[in-house]
């Protein structure tokens, strides 16, 4: 390695992102193809009660976003949960293991989520080309397309992401507007179409829809691993997170209520949950065809593929950076640290981590592509991890009191956030805790084993906490 390359290697990740790239990253991940599924399934099965569930989920995720903003601005490092966990716990060995456990749990949980997202988008891509048969080639194609922008400069990735995101959001707003104005084959919008035997404020229906509603927002914290590449994170991260959540709420509410009001809810439910809607895995294609025929189905298929693309581009930006942050400190399964800490000398992106992550999530998606089932499984584990985000803010206030906190919350925010998340978890999965809790237990158990093995393989490398510094070094 020559001096020029060595100098670049020491330079680390590029700090080039502002408020709008952060906004794009948050919205691009959250407004995914799977949220088209969860939104339409929610609106069509329980009606306007889903909108109430959506508002509750928004408030809970807003608190999460604020906790995420404090942690990511206090410790603006690519490792995200790994960094926060290892800084919040004051005991050397326990701090590293805690950080590794949280990071691996988050990474492993996305084995479910990445699979469902790629699958949902691949259904759309397959429909766009009028193809039938195995979904595997479309899953591979979607993964490759999402990987390519992450091999170049992060700023280039953000530009590509923004361009696709605008088109995808425009599609959603177009269908919502067509519904509200009556500009479609399904006819004029009418409030009577929302009248059903399920009350708007019927708590049993709202509670049952919380998992789907929660899914409409999960992922806003994916901006955290990009904190190290964000200019002025104190301003740009909180602003991007809050604006992103508001945009997501507005899009879901406008599109869902607009489309659903054009014909009776029971008719939508029968079509969306039947064979034409892939038994609930692709209800958006039913919507497209019902409203505008073949070209409407094609447009919705294109929007679905674009939604998956924006989501997976961000996934393959954020998740590899968590591995990179761990490897940079020497804690990624011993000798693997050197490979995963590699940055491309020109683009300053973690190529090895990106490519390995893409392959892993692609393989899972090929073998597991029941979108609705994976939404529930992934959501359960994700909600538990959200509780940890709030707890890390609270714990770090006491264990790391002297660190500078550019964005500091009232302590009531993470406390309310943790309580609200526990509330959502309990009611959203009533009667199903055994099923989805067990699947989550596999993720967390595997993450703990991986954390202990990684720490043991690190050998004599141990994290040294330097007061007043965000980083760390190994001795």
Q: What percent of the chain has pLDDT over 70?
A: 89
Higher pLDDT, 385 or 26: 385
Lowest mean pLDDT among 99-113, 115-129, 261-275, 422-436: 115-129
Is 460 in a helix, a strand, or coil?
Answer: coil
All domains of the chain in start order, with CATH: 3-459 (1.20.1740.10)
- Going by C-alpha positions, the residue among 347, 449, 428, 465 that lies closest to residue 104 is 449
For residue 200, pLDDT over 50 is answered with yes
Look at 181 and 218; give whichever has higher pLDDT: 181
Instruction: Calculate what percentage of the chain has a pLDDT beyond 90.
Output: 32
Residues 6+ apart with CB under 8 A from 288: 175, 296, 297, 298, 299, 300, 301
Return the residue matching tokens 């929302």: 194
User: Under a CB-based contact definition with an 8 Å cutoff, are residues 312 and 142 in contact?
Assistant: yes
Least confident of 232-241, 250-259, 316-325, 414-423: 232-241
pLDDT value for 373: 61
- Indicate yes or no: pTM above 0.85: no
CA angle 444, 448, 12 (to 5 degrees): 100
In sequence order, which ranges of 47-91 are alpha helices (DSSP H)?
49-74, 81-88
Whether pLDDT at 280 is above 50: yes
Work out the mean pLDDT of the chain and round it to a whole number. Answer: 83
For residue 6, pLDDT over 50 is answered with no
Task: Tell me the C-alpha distance between 26 and 384, whole Å.
Answer: 20
Size of the chain, expressed as the number of residues it contains = 475
Residue 213 vs residue 175, higher pLDDT: 175
pLDDT band with cut points at 50, 70 and 90 for residue 374: low
């Amino acid at each position: 390695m020559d001096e020029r390359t060595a100098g670049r290697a020491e330079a680390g990740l590029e700090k080039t992102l502002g408020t709008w790239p952060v906004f794009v990253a948050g919205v691009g991940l959250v407004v995914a193809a799977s949220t088209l599924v969860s939104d339409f399934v929610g609106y069509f099965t329980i009606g306007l009660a889903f909108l109430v569930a959506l508002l509750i989920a928004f408030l809970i995720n807003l608190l999460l976003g604020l906790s995420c903003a404090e942690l990511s601005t206090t410790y603006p490092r690519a490792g995200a949960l790994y960094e926060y966990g290892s800084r919040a716990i004051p005991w050397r060995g326990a701090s590293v293991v805690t950080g590794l456990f949280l990071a691996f749990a988050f990474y492993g949980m996305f084995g479910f989520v990445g699979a469902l997202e790629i699958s949902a988008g691949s259904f759309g891509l397959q429909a766009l080309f009028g193809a039938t048969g195995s979904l595997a080639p479309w899953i591979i194609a979607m993964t490759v397309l999402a990987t390519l922008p992450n091999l170049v400069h992060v700023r280039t990735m953000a530009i590509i992401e923004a361009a696709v995101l605008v088109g995808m959001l425009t599609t959603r707003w177009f269908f919502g507007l067509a519904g509200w104005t009556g500009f479609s084959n399904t006819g004029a919008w009418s409030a009577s179409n929302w009248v059903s035997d399920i009350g708007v404020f019927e708590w049993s229906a709202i509670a049952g829809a919380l998992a789907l509603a929660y899914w409409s927002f999960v992922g806003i914290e994916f901006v955290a691993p990009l904190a190290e590449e964000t200019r002025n994170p104190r301003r740009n991260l909180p602003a991007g997170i809050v604006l992103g959540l508001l945009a997501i709420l507005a899009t879901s509410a406008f599109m869902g209520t607009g489309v659903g009001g054009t014909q009776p809810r029971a008719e939508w439910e029968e079509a969306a949950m039947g064979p034409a809607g892939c038994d609930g895995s692709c209800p958006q294609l039913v919507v497209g065809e019902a409203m505008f025929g073949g070209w409407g189905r094609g447009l919705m298929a294109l929007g679905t593929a674009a939604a998956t693309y924006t989501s997976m581009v961000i996934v393959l930006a954020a998740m590899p950076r968590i591995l990179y942050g761990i490897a940079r400190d020497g804690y990624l399964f011993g000798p693997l640290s050197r490979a995963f800490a590699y940055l491309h000398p020109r683009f300053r992106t973690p190529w090895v981590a990106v490519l390995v992550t893409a392959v892993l999530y692609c393989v899972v998606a090929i073998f597991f592509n029941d979108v609705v089932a994976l939404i529930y499984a992934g959501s359960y584990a994700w909600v538990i991890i959200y509780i940890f985000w709030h707890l890390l803010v609270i714990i770090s206030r006491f264990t790391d009191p002297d660190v500078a906190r550019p964005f500091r919350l009232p302590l009531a925010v993470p406390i309310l956030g943790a309580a609200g998340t526990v509330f959502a978890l309990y009611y959203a999965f009533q009667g199903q805790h055994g099923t989805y809790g067990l699947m989550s237990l596999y993720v967390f158990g595997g993450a703990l084993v991986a954390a202990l093995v990684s720490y043991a393989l690190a050998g004599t490398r141990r994290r040294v906490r330097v007061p007043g510094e965000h980083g760390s070094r190994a001795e």
